[in-house]
Amino acid sequence: MSARAIRLWAWTHKWTSLVCTLFLLMLCVTGLPLIFHEEIDGWLNDDPPYAEAGPDAAPAPLAPMVAQAQDRYPAETVISVFIDDDEPRVLVSMAPSWDAFMDAPRSRHWLAFDAHTGALRQDPGPGGGSRSGFIPFMLRLHEDLFAGLWGALFLGAMGLVFLAALVSGTVLYAPFMRRLRFGTIRIGWSPRLPWLDLHTLIGAVALAWMAVVGFTGALNEISTPLFALWQRGDVQAIVAPWRGQAAPSHAEVISPDTALRTAHEAMPEMRVISLVYPGGRIGSPFHVMAWAKGDTPLTSRLFSPALIDARTGALTAVVRMPWYLRALEVSRPLHFGDYGGWPLRLIWAALDGLTILLLVSGLYLWLSRGPRAGVRPSNAAAAPGETAAPGHQAAE
């Protein structure tokens, strides 16, 4: 590689890294507790235990749960019914109205029911529940910096800048390591040198993991616009025959048990996990949208929606998800690391820790650079293998 090319890549590596480092540090630090959110939630949770039920016990009907929720909040609208597949519980989400929910998604609140007995377990009320606490705080910071869609898009852009930093760092790896044995960390020569070698080593060994998690994270951040795109295209085409009709009133909407039964019949090999009532942003004003998923490690990540006529309970269509939403769905576990049991989560935490170390070492190398840090092109050309961390030296 020519000296000019090295300088160009070094400049790219320096600036892409500097632009995203602080945000990536925030993402790594907030992501660490999110890896163990189930355990942390379990420790912080003081809910009573679920009712004992045999493995073949039939689930309680959903309609009484929805009716009870509606009785407690008669002025509000049922948004969705979520049938948890991790715990035996059903969450009924409510909001002042669909318009209020679309304007401020955080206006939604939920009531939790025991899936076996149908008994109400929790009703944190509007403003309570999942919006407060340590994990929700970390999640919002991680997802969107408390800035909604624009925050999510900004973090997605930072993820792409991080990928550019990884690519440029990879290009610089070979010239730097040509005369060094893999894994060399030189201690005792100068304070910077061990950090430089550690930075290079972590970048080399965790490159694939960081690239996958960075890319899937960026993909997740643009999920809202992607779903909106799908809603405006495929879903609108399906509900076109209903356009111009009056949307069903709440009293006209079929029972959730009827919708569940129709969805089961339409997708017999899948597990229905949620019913979204008519009026949602992703869906139709004339249909209950049932979301179902498979039960293998891969298909459990692939959700398929079915549109069920909200007045008659008849199946309108099982909607095929476009490739970009399928890609998004498959990418989610690769970002969260929640698909391989607790050992994988521990490894995820270790790799997250390595990424934090990579970012901190890069920041230290930049902050501790000195007036002699510049590299003359002649030197770089004469011995590219000896230019230490071109990203932190040559371009300075």
Q: Where does this chain bind another protein (CB under 8 A)?
A: 173-174, 177-190, 192-194, 197-198, 201-202, 204-209, 212, 296-298, 301, 330, 333-334, 339-341, 343-344, 347, 350-351, 353-354, 365, 368-376, 379-380, 383, 385-388, 392-393, 396
The alpha carbon of residue 381 and the mean position of all alpha carbons in its chain are separated, in whole angstroms, by 44
Which residues make Cβ contacts (< 8 Å) with residue 151, sequence separation at least 6? Answer: 143, 144, 145
Closer to another protein by CB, 78 or 389: give it.
Answer: 389
Which residues make Cβ contacts (< 8 Å) with residue 32, sequence separation at least 6? Answer: 349, 352, 353
Nearest to 168 by CA among 7, 26, 22: 7
Q: Which H or E run contains 344?
A: helix 341-367
Closer to another protein by CB, 4 or 186: give it.
Answer: 186
Residue 228's alpha-carbon distances to 53, 222, 225, 280, 300, in angstroms, are: 40, 10, 5, 11, 23
Which residues make Cβ contacts (< 8 Å) with residue 148, sequence separation at least 6? Answer: none
Closer to another protein by CB, 196 or 253: give it.
Answer: 196
Closer to another protein by CB, 224 or 379: give it.
Answer: 379
Closer to another protein by CB, 135 or 207: give it.
Answer: 207
Q: Least separation, in Å, of the C-beta of 378 and another protein?
A: 10
Which residue bears the tokens 């909604």? 148
Closer to another protein by CB, 306 or 394: give it.
Answer: 394
Give the whole-angstrom CA distance, residue 395 versus residue 389: 10
Q: Which H or E run contains 274?
A: strand 271-276
